[in-house]
Amino acid sequence: GENVEQHPSTLSVQEGDSAVIKCTYSDSASNYFPWYKQELGKRPQLIIDIRSNVGEKKDQRIAVTLNKTAKHFSLHITETQPEDSAVYFCASKTNTGNQFYFGTGTSLTVIP
Amino acid sequence: SAVISQKPSRDICQRGTSLTIQCQVDSQVTMMFWYRQQPGQSLTLIATANQGSEATYESGFVIDKFPISRPNLTFSTLTVSNMSPEDSSIYLCSVGQGDTEAFFGQGTRLTVV
């Protein structure tokens, strides 16, 4: 089955700096890669996603890149703000399966 | 996007008892899933709730311990049976529709004493 690895497990950045979280996957059939943000005590919520026919996607301060050959994808947050502090999960899904495979999470702290 | 109502939001239960968690979606969805999230950990899939047939359980989870119902396309329940302190966790339902993102319920924080 699919194996999604996520690094780093914790990340601290100064406000205004950039944060990068990386994930790798093992199943070449995976074609959908969402990123979720989970604030303390709340449900995971989608912040951005990318499909395998696209190499990069950007939404304001958030961007995701995908390298299909290397089987890795990354989340980039620029101009970080304290409200970006949360746990971020990457995930993958194949076009034939119904299950999402989640990474182990990255706890991001933005220091004011 | 789907709106998911999950209840209860939290509960404190005595060991040996059972708790049933409900998940209601505001629209018909193909897939419903149940996850467990232990403090500071990732999301572990317990099972896929199948409408009209038995749930599909992941390795390490069995029907006797986590019976699941899915009577229609908008509703599912997960029961945590014969609870022990090790079952203390957050339980989340999730829905998916085709090739789209997963939406999550707000979670049930279970404490077994």
Give the per-residue SS3 of chain A: CCCCEEECCEEEEECCCCEEEEEECCCCCEEEEEEEEECCCCCCEEEEEEECCCCEEEECCEEEEEECCCCEEEEEECCCCHHHCEEEEEEEEECCCCCCEECCCEEEEEEC
Residue of B29 and B6 predicted with greater confidence: B6
DSSP single-letter state for residue B63: T
Place B97 in a pLDDT band, splitting at 50, 70 and 90. Answer: low
Euclidean distance between CA atoms A4 and A18, whole angstroms: 23
Backbone angles phi, psi at A69, to 5 degrees: -65, -45
Write the pLDDT tens digit of every residue in B16-26: 999 999 999 99
Average pLDDT over residues B89-99: 85
pLDDT band at B99; cut points 50, 70, 90: low
Question: Are A100 and B31 a contacting pair at CB < 8 A?
Answer: no
Identify the pLDDT of residue B93: 95
What is the pLDDT at residue A98? 75
Contact A86, A108 (CB under 8 A): yes
pLDDT at B61: 96
What pLDDT shows up at residue B60? 93
The overall average pLDDT reported for chain B is: 92
The b-or-e profile of B19-43 (16+ CB within 10 A means b, else e) is bebbbebeeebebbbbbbbeeeebb
Distance from C-alpha of B12 to C-alpha of B6, rounded to nearest angstrom: 16
Q: In tens digits, what is the pLDDT along chain A, a chain of 112 residues? A: 788 999 999 999 999 999 999 999 999 999 999 999 999 989 999 999 999 888 999 999 999 999 999 999 999 999 999 999 999 999 999 877 778 899 999 999 999 9
Interface contact B92, partner A, CB < 8 A? yes
Which DSSP category does B26 fall into?
Answer: S
Of B40, B96, B101, the CB nearest to A98: B96
Kindly indicate the confidence band of residue B53, based on its pLDDT and cuts at 50, 70 and 90.
confident
Interface of A with B in 4-63 (CB under 8 A): 32, 34, 42-46, 49
**Residue B103's pLDDT band (cuts 50, 70, 90):** confident
Sheet with A56-59, strands from edge to edge, namely A5-7, A19-24, A72-77, A62-67, A56-59
3-state secondary structure of B91: strand
Pairing relation of β-strands B108-112 and B10-13?
parallel
Q: Is the confidence at residue B46, as pLDDT, over 90? A: yes
Rounded to whole angstroms, how far apart are CA atoms A34 and A16? Answer: 24
Residue B98 predicted with pLDDT over 70: no
Residue to substitute from A4, A21, A32, A43, interface B, most B β-carbons within 10 A: A43
Paired tokens of B87: 């079952």
pLDDT bracket for residue B33 (50, 70, 90): very high
